[in-house]
Amino acid sequence: MSGESLPISPAAFAEAIQELPLPVLYAKVSEIRNSIAHLHRSNAELQTFIDESCESDTEKRELESYITENKDVLTSMMERVTLLKTEVENRGQQWIELDEIKETNGDSHEAPAHPSQTNAASTTENASGDTEGGGQEEEEGVYL
């Protein structure tokens, strides 16, 4: 990020997301969570370099300033996640933090970005109780 550009203020962000559809709000959370993960990884790598390979105090201070800057960005990103949560709840919806659940469980499978995107068996029954498709089971998934 350029030192000249400033991020959108929290108030402007909160106003901007009011017009977004619910799935887009969840997609934005996913995008922010991805950025947060990259910043954490970057900070860990910088700290390791400082601890193991940094030779001059000037270089060490410079790298530590990058870590501090990343921490400030992380704080801003977490504030945005909170604003997104508030917007979802203000719409009368339940907040479901799927990425947090995935991180807590150590699950490496990708979670859906929105609760309505969960897959259920899509086999349908006709009036006689048989599954459509000549009695053969259909594949699981969502059919549009």
How does pLDDT run along the chain (144 residues), one tens digit per residue?
Answer: 456 778 899 999 999 999 999 999 999 999 999 999 999 999 999 999 999 998 899 999 999 999 999 999 999 999 999 999 999 999 999 998 764 555 555 544 444 344 433 333 333 344 444 444 444 444 555 444
Report residue 65 CA to chain centroid gap: 26
- Given this model, what pLDDT does residue 7 score? 83
Distance CA 40, CA 117 (A): 28
Check: CB of residue 39 under 8 Å from CB of residue 74. Answer: yes
Q: What is the pTM of this model?
A: 0.64
Q: Would you state the pLDDT for residue 111?
A: 40
Other CB atoms within 10 A of residue 113 CB: 18
Q: Give the chain's radius of gyration (CA, Å).
A: 22
